[in-house]
Structures are given as C-alpha cells and as structure tokens.
Amino acid sequence: MYRKGLATLPNVEALSPLVTRILAQNPGPKTLQGTNTYLVGRHPNVVLIDTGEQDCKKYSDLLQNVVTSSNLSVKSIIITHWHPDHLGGCHSVRSLLEENVNSENISLRLNSADRRNEEIPVYKFPHEYDEKIAPGQKIFPLHDNQILEVSADCTLKVVHTPGHTEDSISLHLLEENSLFSGDTILGGSSGDFTNYIQYRQSLTRLQELGADTVYPGHGQVEAGTVVNKYISHRAGRENQVLAALRAGEVQVSVAGLTDKVYENENLHPGLLQSARTIVGLILEKLEVDGSARRTEDGLWYATG
C-alpha cells in the first residue's frame, strides 16, 4: 500500500445490516486503498454514497454485480463533495443504474416530487466545480440538517462539514448512530483540507454528534472516537508548525518549514505538495491568531 499500516480491504464488504462498502478500484497516495462508496438502506431499497472516478469499468462491474445479485433498488445517489474520485463517476454509474431500473420498469425515487422518466436523482451540496466534474448531470441541492428517508428504519441527516472542500458533507445514519464522513475523516490516515479554520470547526461539530462508528471516504471503518484523535492530531500539528517556526531561521518559506515539520515521517513523494498546503494553511491560521507573520516575499516568521 501507499502508506504503512493500512488495513487490507476487500472489494465488497457488508459492514452492517444497513451498510455495504464497495471499493472504487482507484488506490493511490491520496485515495489509500481506493475511494469508499457505500450502498445504504434496508433491503431492497438503498442509496449509493459517492461514485468513484470517471469511467472505471472495474468499479462499475463490481457495483452492478452487487446490485443485481442482491436484487437491490438504488433509489438515488448522494455525493459527499466535488472531488473527481467521488463525483467523477456520476455519469457512468448513473447510466448503469438507470439501465437496470428501466429494464425492470421500477421507479426508485428518494422523493416522489423528483420523478422524471425513471432517472436516478443525484443529490449534493452545491459547488461551482460540479459542472466541470460532472458535465450535463442534473444535481439536486442538499442543505445542512436535511433529513433523507432512505428506507424502513434508515434515515440520513445531512451535516455540512466544510474544510476539506467548501461543499463537503457528512451523513449521520440516525438508526445506527454512525457517520459517513466523506474525506473530512479518513480511516487509518490523516486527511487534508483547503480551509483549516473551517476544518477544525467541522471536526468539533462531528465530535458533538457523538457517533459510534465512522464510515470514511477512504480507508478502514473507525470507532467514533477517531474524531477526538483527529482533533488532537490537528492541534498537535499546529503546535509542531509553530515550534518549528520559532526554532528555525528568522524567516522561512512554506517548503522549508514543511521539510522541518515532516523530516522524521518518511513522507511519500506523492504527498509532499499536500503537506506543504497543510503547513501553509496552518500558518494562515497562526497569522489570524497573531502567532505568525508573513513578509512581502512570502516568507514566514514567529511573532513571539
């Protein structure tokens, strides 16, 4: 695997009576064992959370096999955020599922008001990149705290958790008190973000939910206490960045500071840019706090 200590995950695994995970067949430094997609609901009515990457036949074949062999009715698709390994497969997966629907002449709507010629609706928190990643796809907007009735005894609550991306959502499965965290929390690895302040706030919100189980966008299933570990890790990394800034040269670049912070972590080369982005975003937060300053040349120094 691309990171040490990652669990080996089967391509398809029933995780609970309401949840089946299907790996999207795209392992890599950022995707870990691959993007986790989930079929969620009480048989036969389910929803699909995330769709993997564009035109991945290996994933499509897996998904079709699970749906047909288990005689499932996929009512809708829910996307956790706009990244191509979650939204990119929307067109091909939707087409595949609609072929199954139309061949059986079954209507599989999450909401009867959205019925349009047996199309399977896609739901997502809106983002400006949606059309770029999934051109021509009709996407129904989700909103924070929205309740989605999936099937008997299966209810999802939308939780807007920006930080990884602006549109990132988590989904609280109320009957299990479990959480689909998208890429806000990963299994067996730390995550990245585009807005550090929002990300910390989202982690706090997830902590307050007190979920028993976390089904992440990548990696293994985690106990709900992983949220506490994430918060501690982020606080520790922030302290590490500030300590390195104070201990180093008077002024330092983001790249130079990243090398110091990660020097003992055997960082995979494919993750170096992500690490630099994380350090840069933490520095911006420290600047807001008054602990760091940036020069006109883009170098950083500690204020005390």
Residue with tokens 């795209």: 26
Tell me if the bond preceding 216 is cis, omega within 30° of 0.
no
pLDDT tens digit sequence for 118-145: 689 999 999 999 999 999 999 999 999 9
Q: What is the pLDDT of residue 85?
A: 98
Show the CA angle centred on residue 248, arms to residues 242 and 254, nearest 5°.
65
Q: Is the pLDDT of residue 10 over 50?
A: yes
Q: What is the pTM of this model?
A: 0.90
Residue 152 pLDDT class (50, 70, 90 cuts): confident
Q: What is the mean pLDDT of residues 164-184?
A: 98
Q: What is the pLDDT of residue 264?
A: 83
Q: What is the pLDDT of residue 1?
A: 32
Average pLDDT, the chain: 91
Q: What is the pLDDT of residue 6?
A: 84
Q: Is the pLDDT of residue 280 over 90?
A: yes
pLDDT tens digit sequence for 41-84: 999 999 999 999 999 999 999 999 999 999 999 999 999 999 99
Q: Which residues contact 273 (CB under 8 A, 6 or more apart)?
A: none
Beta sheet of 222-223, edge-to-edge order: 147-151, 154-160, 169-173, 178-182, 213-216, 222-223
Q: What is the mean pLDDT of residues 159-182?
A: 98
Length, in residues, of the chain = 304
Q: What is the pLDDT of residue 296?
A: 93
Tokens of 290: 């008054």
- Label each residue of the chain as H, E or C: CCCCCCCCCCCEEEEECCEEEEECCCCECCCECCEEEEEECCCCEEEEECCCCCCCHHHHHHHHHHHHHCCCEEEEEEECCCCHHHHCCHHHHHHHHHHHHHHHCCCCCCCHHHCCCCCCCEEECCCCCHHHHCCCCCEEECCCCCEEEEECCEEEEEEECCCCCCCCEEEEECCCCEEEEECCCCECCCCCCCCHHHHHHHHHHHHHHCCCEEEECEECCEECCHHHHHHHHHHHHHHHHHHHHHHCCCCECHHHHHHHHCCCCCCCHHHHHHHHHHHHHHHHHHHHHCCEEECCCCCEEECC
**Residue 148 in contact with residue 136, Cβ under 8 Å?**
no
Q: What is the pLDDT of residue 102?
A: 56
Dihedral sign from CA coordinates of 179, 156, 94, 14: positive
pLDDT tens digit sequence for 106-117: 333 444 444 445
Interatomic CA distance for residues 224 and 211, integer angstroms:
5
pLDDT tens digit sequence for 183-207: 999 999 988 999 999 999 999 999 9
**Residue 25 in contact with residue 62, Cβ under 8 Å?**
yes
Share of the chain above pLDDT 70, in %: 93
Q: What is the pLDDT of residue 304?
A: 75
Interatomic CA distance for residues 246 and 240, integer angstroms:
10
Q: Please tell me which residue, 103 or 253, carries the higher pLDDT value.
A: 253
Q: What is the pLDDT of residue 207?
A: 98
